[in-house]
Amino acid sequence: MTDLTWRPDSPEAVAEIRPLLRAVAAVDGRPEVAATGPLPREFRGGEHLLATDGVELVGYAHLDTDGDSFGRQVAEVLVRPDARGRGVGSALVDAVLARAADGVRLWAHGDHAAAAKIAEKRGLSRVRELLTMHLDLAAVELAEPLWREGVRVRAFEPGRDEAAVVEVNKRAFDWHPEQGSMSVADVEATEAEPWFDPAGFFLAVDAQDRVLGFHWTKVHPGAGGPGTGEVYVVGVDPAAQGGGLGKALTLVGLRHLRAAGLPEIILYVESDNTPAVAVYSRLGFTRSAADVQYARAEARSV
Query: What is the per-residue pLDDT for 243?
Result: 84
Residue 232 annotated in ligand binding: no
Q: What is the mean pLDDT of the chain?
A: 93
Considering only 53-62, 221-230, 283-292, which range has the smallest mean pLDDT? 221-230
Residue 279 annotated in ligand binding: no
Shared-domain flag, residues 11 and 124: yes
pLDDT: which is higher, 75 or 112 = 75
Shared-domain flag, residues 61 and 157: no
Shared-domain flag, residues 188 and 104: no
Shared-domain flag, residues 160 and 111: no
Residue 243 annotated in ligand binding: yes
Shared-domain flag, residues 165 and 201: yes
pTM, 2 dp: 0.87
Separation of alpha carbons 91 and 86, rounded Å: 10
Mean pLDDT of 103-126: 93
Q: Which domain holds residue 57?
A: 3-131+292-299
Residue 246 annotated in ligand binding: yes
> What's the structural domain count of the chain?
2
Run of H or E residues at 199: none
CA dihedral 33, 36, 37, 41 (to 10 degrees): 10
Residues 81 and 97: beta-carbon distance below 8 Å:
no
Shared-domain flag, residues 265 and 162: yes
Question: Residue 25: how many CA atoms within 13 Å on its side-chain side?
Answer: 14
Mean pLDDT of 81-91: 95
Mean pLDDT of 168-176: 95
The alpha carbon of 105 is separated from its chain's Cα centroid by a whole number of angstroms, namely: 15
Residue 103 annotated in ligand binding: no
Shared-domain flag, residues 232 and 150: yes
Residue 245 annotated in ligand binding: yes
Query: What is the per-residue pLDDT for 224?
Result: 74
- Burial bucket for residue 25 (CB in 10 Å: 0-12, 13-18, 19+): middle
229 within some domain:
yes
Query: What is the per-residue pLDDT for 179?
Result: 92
136 within some domain:
no
User: pLDDT category, 8, cuts 50, 70, 90?
Assistant: very high
Shared-domain flag, residues 147 and 262: yes
Residues comprising the chain, all counted: 302
Residue 241 annotated in ligand binding: yes
Q: Is the pLDDT of residue 300 over 50?
A: no
Kindly report, residue by residue over 226-242, the tens digit of the pLDDT: 899 999 999 999 999 88
User: pLDDT category, 225, cuts 50, 70, 90?
Assistant: confident
Q: 3-class SS at 150?
A: coil
Shared-domain flag, residues 86 and 196: no
Provide the percentage of residues in the chain whose pLDDT is more than 70.
Answer: 98
CATH of the domain at 232: 3.40.630.30
User: pLDDT category, 298, cuts 50, 70, 90?
Assistant: low
Residue 234 annotated in ligand binding: yes
256 within some domain:
yes
Shared-domain flag, residues 79 and 156: no
User: pLDDT category, 301, cuts 50, 70, 90?
Assistant: very low
Kindly report, residue by residue over 242-269, the tens digit of the pLDDT: 889 999 999 999 999 999 999 999 999 9
Mean pLDDT of 278-295: 94
Residue 79 annotated in ligand binding: yes
Residues β-bridged to residue 152: 205
Residue 244 annotated in ligand binding: yes
Shared-domain flag, residues 98 and 147: no
Mean pLDDT of 184-207: 95
Residues 291 and 129: beta-carbon distance below 8 Å:
yes
Residue 269 annotated in ligand binding: no
Shared-domain flag, residues 71 and 48: yes
Residues β-bridged to residue 265: 135, 229
